[in-house]
Structure 1
Amino acid sequence: MASAFGHALVGYTFSKVLDKNQSGILMALAIISSILPDIDVISFKLGISYNHWLGHRGLTHSILFSIIWALLLSFIFGKQRKVIFFLVLFLGTMSHAMLDAMTTGGEGVGFLIPYNETRYFFPFRPILVSPIGVERFFSKWGWKVICSEFIWIGIPCLVVLGINVFKNKILNINAE
């Protein structure tokens, strides 16, 4: 998996770029949603195998889970902005699986669970897989993961955020 830091940055980026109102609640929900799929690591403690549809990178990493989660939060928190809430939350949640499919480790991602239990990786897998657990994360390998994520997640997010700020400044100048 990519680390919680990498996932959170992508959720933050989606909220900043897609939400013109800059809602704090949507930003917080996007960050949480982008990390949430890894709740499935509890499956290890429950004795569920990695490759089971309830295992790590299974159901909570699926397209169906992202849709249901985004719909649920959109109806609870979206008020008159349900569509933008859904879009940001779906993309934030789904980005988790997409990033995990770009890592160098694991057993793949169950994008189509529960319809198909096949696990997938993308052909381009530059992101070093993050160790599971706090102790293992703060190690030499954890540092390498952070550096990898800075290159493959951090820089692209910063570029997108920078373009968004520039675009907004230009639009504000033209509106005056």
Structure 2
Amino acid sequence: MPTIISHAIVPLAFAAAAGRQRIAVPIALAGGVLAAMPDADVVGFAFGIAYADDWGHRGATHSLAFAAITALVLAALWPRARSMAAILFLFAATASHGLFDMATDGGLGAALFWPFETGRHFFGATPIRVSPIGADFFSARGLETLRSEFVWIWVPCAALALAGAGLRRSRARP
């Protein structure tokens, strides 16, 4: 898995590229939280839920179904999230988690299509170094992970945010 910081940066970069008029700051921040949220499934280890179980790490919480349900529940509970644009953004933010995990070089893959099929999937190319869980993050492998994420997530996200801001500025000029 990429680190929770990198998961959160993806929807924040998309929101920055789109601009505050399209994606309000509270919705963007909620997207950042939702993008990191699927990794809360690691608490299952403490309750005896095995990694490979449907509700284990990278299981149901990393699926498109979970992303859709999460976005719809949030919209039902939070009036600010009731527009189609907000719902789609929040869905994409949550779904991005499983997609980015599919680009990592370790673990069992992500159960993107749960509950319709329980297989775990990776992309054909897996350039992102998988993040160690827990205290092992503060190791040489953790640094390797951050370097990988910088190249494959942070730089493209910064480019996207800057390009979107530049495009908006150029359109705003008379």
Q: Does the pair score TM above 0.5?
A: yes
Check whether the contact 2:74–2:81 (CA below 8 A) recurs between aligned residues: no
Aligned residues: 173
1:75 aligns with 2:88: no
For residue 139 of structure 1, report the CA deviation from its aligned partner. Answer: 1.4
C-alpha separation between the residues in 1 aligned to 2:104 and 2:150? 14
Change beyond 3 A, Cα 1:137–1:73: same
C-alpha separation between the residues in 1 aligned to 2:24 and 2:113? 31
Residue of structure 1 equivalent to 2:161? 161
Residue of structure 1 equivalent to 2:98? 97
Q: TM-score w.r.t. structure 1 length?
A: 0.93
2:137 maps to a residue whose letter is F
Residue of structure 1 equivalent to 2:62? 61
Check whether the contact 1:63–1:112 (CA below 8 A) recurs between aligned residues: yes
Check whether the contact 2:41–2:58 (CA below 8 A) recurs between aligned residues: yes
Check whether the contact 1:37–1:96 (CA below 8 A) recurs between aligned residues: yes
Bigger RCO of structures 1 and 2 (CA < 8 A, at least 6 apart)? 2
Residue of structure 1 equivalent to 2:150? 150
1:86 aligns with 2:83: no
C-alpha separation between the residues in 2 aligned to 1:113 and 1:27? 26
Map residues 96-115 of structure 1 onto 2, 5 A cutoff.
Answer: 96-115=97-116
What are the ranges of 5 or more consecutive residues in structure 1 without an aligned counterpart?
none
What are the ranges of 5 or more consecutive residues in structure 2 without an aligned counterpart?
none
Of all paired residues, the percent bearing the same amino acid is 34
Q: Alpha carbon RMSD of aligned pairs, Å?
A: 1.5
